[in-house]
Chains A and B, each alone.
Chain A
């Protein structure tokens, strides 16, 4: 079971309330999908500039593996107030610790609720279905 202290998108981003802000990252499943277990397959991550306003569901960045480019989608709308720039130079963080050190952006949300997102149990079902292919 994945952490239940946060909420999820079916496109495999997570969102965690942290005071007045929301931390956003991608799940271990997203990393596995892109890298297929070989972390060297992740080659580039493009994160947004500070101060950018984004809408819920909007693309805030992109991540590239050897064979695919995937969008990073915002679970909540708001202002980008912090970016984890360490990821851009150390993509291995995403494989070793996607839940804590691997956070990507901190958003000051226009609405603080995460109720529109999936809980851990519902997300687990999405992953199970995807793995059943």
Chain B
């Protein structure tokens, strides 16, 4: 990607609570003017996240979910189990995000497709192709595909969404590695662990974006703020706001 060379902050936060999963992403979204940040994470326990505008009642899987949270990003619900989740927070002026939304997806998805390919997964953008994973009435992200989504085995395997707020952009990605009883019929890549796929993605981003990724940990202040913001995204009033 032309002009993307930059210094990145890299966070790996494995097995985080739903509060910390969402809260830390919101902290990173609010850091306008800070370096772009790439974060990899997994959830503990498994959690169902609603899209920002989704109606609670339109997602039947909420009744079976261990925990439920509402994301800041839009789109459908996701069951975060057996997956690698990543987020990319950067200023809207960053070359990754400058311009329309669609090309920014293509830039991110190009490295995800290449990384999956390194693990033997023949992933590609769906474009105009039909997939078998589209199912009406579940409200699940993986059951509703768009031309920009990443698919393999004729099914959607990566869920993506963005939030654009006050000059900063947060891109969420969920890469399915294992089957979920709340998201049947979707693609998955069981041959790779979340940590190994994160390493491969990092290598692809370093190579293709000419970036330098500096390993870091969330600060105590960021964690404290994330807990407060994250608790709000799990609060009953916010979950049932629609």
Q: From A58, which residue of chain B is reached at the shortest CB distance?
A: B166
Q: Tell me if A64 is interfacial: C-beta within 8 Å of chain B.
A: yes
What distance in Å separates the Cβ of B233 from its nearest Cβ neighbour in chain A?
14
What distance in Å separates the Cβ of A11 from its nearest Cβ neighbour in chain B?
7
Q: Tell me if A69 is interfacial: C-beta within 8 Å of chain B.
A: yes
Inter-chain contacts of B52 with A (CB < 8 A) = 62, 64, 69
Q: Tell me if B212 is interfacial: C-beta within 8 Å of chain A.
A: no
Q: Is the CB of A67 within 8 A of B105?
A: yes
Q: Is the CB of A11 within 8 A of B167?
A: yes
Q: Tell me if B75 is interfacial: C-beta within 8 Å of chain A.
A: yes
Inter-chain contacts of A21 with B (CB < 8 A) = none
Q: From A64, which residue of chain B is reached at the shortest CB distance?
A: B74
Total contacting residues, chain A, CB less than 8 A: 23
Known: A68-B162, A69-B163, A70-B165. A34 touches B53 (CB 8 A): no
Inter-chain contacts of A62 with B (CB < 8 A) = 52-53
Inter-chain contacts of A64 with B (CB < 8 A) = 52-53, 74
Question: How many CB-defined contacts (below 8 Å) exist between A and B?
Answer: 68
Interface residues on B, range: 20 to 34
Inter-chain contacts of B105 with A (CB < 8 A) = 67
Inter-chain contacts of A71 with B (CB < 8 A) = 164-166
CA distance A34 to B100 in the complex (A): 6
CA distance A59 to B161 in the complex (A): 20
Q: From A46, which residue of chain B is reached at the shortest CB distance?
A: B53
Q: Is the CB of A36 within 8 A of B102?
A: yes
Inter-chain contacts of A66 with B (CB < 8 A) = 75, 146
Q: From A57, which residue of chain B is reached at the shortest CB distance?
A: B166
Q: Tell me if A130 is interfacial: C-beta within 8 Å of chain B.
A: yes
Quick one: CB contact mask for A95-106 with B, threshold 8 Å, 1 for yes? 000000000000
CA distance A32 to B161 in the complex (A): 17
Inter-chain contacts of A59 with B (CB < 8 A) = 165-166
What distance in Å separates the Cβ of A25 from its nearest Cβ neighbour in chain B?
17
Q: From A67, which residue of chain B is reached at the shortest CB distance?
A: B101
CA distance A124 to B161 in the complex (A): 28
Prevailing SS type, chain B contact patch: loop
CA distance A67 to B103 in the complex (A): 11
Q: Tell me if A133 is interfacial: C-beta within 8 Å of chain B.
A: yes
Inter-chain contacts of B162 with A (CB < 8 A) = 67-69
What distance in Å separates the Cβ of B148 from its nearest Cβ neighbour in chain A?
7
Q: Is the CB of A130 within 8 A of B99?
A: yes
Q: Is the CB of B101 within 8 A of A34?
A: yes
CA distance A46 to B74 in the complex (A): 13
Quick one: CB contact mask for B66-90 with A, threshold 8 Å, 1 for yes? 0000001111000000000000000
Q: Which of A67-116 contact B (CB under 8 A)?
A: 67-71, 73
14 other A-B residue contacts (CB within 8 Å) besides A67-B75, A67-B148: A33-B100, A33-B101, A36-B102, A43-B53, A43-B74, A44-B53, A59-B165, A59-B166, A67-B105, A67-B146, A68-B162, A69-B53, A69-B161, A73-B166
18 pairs of residues in contact across A and B, judged by CB atoms under 8 Å: A10-B167, A11-B166, A11-B167, A46-B53, A59-B166, A62-B53, A65-B101, A66-B75, A66-B146, A67-B146, A68-B74, A68-B161, A68-B162, A69-B53, A69-B72, A70-B165, A133-B3, A133-B95
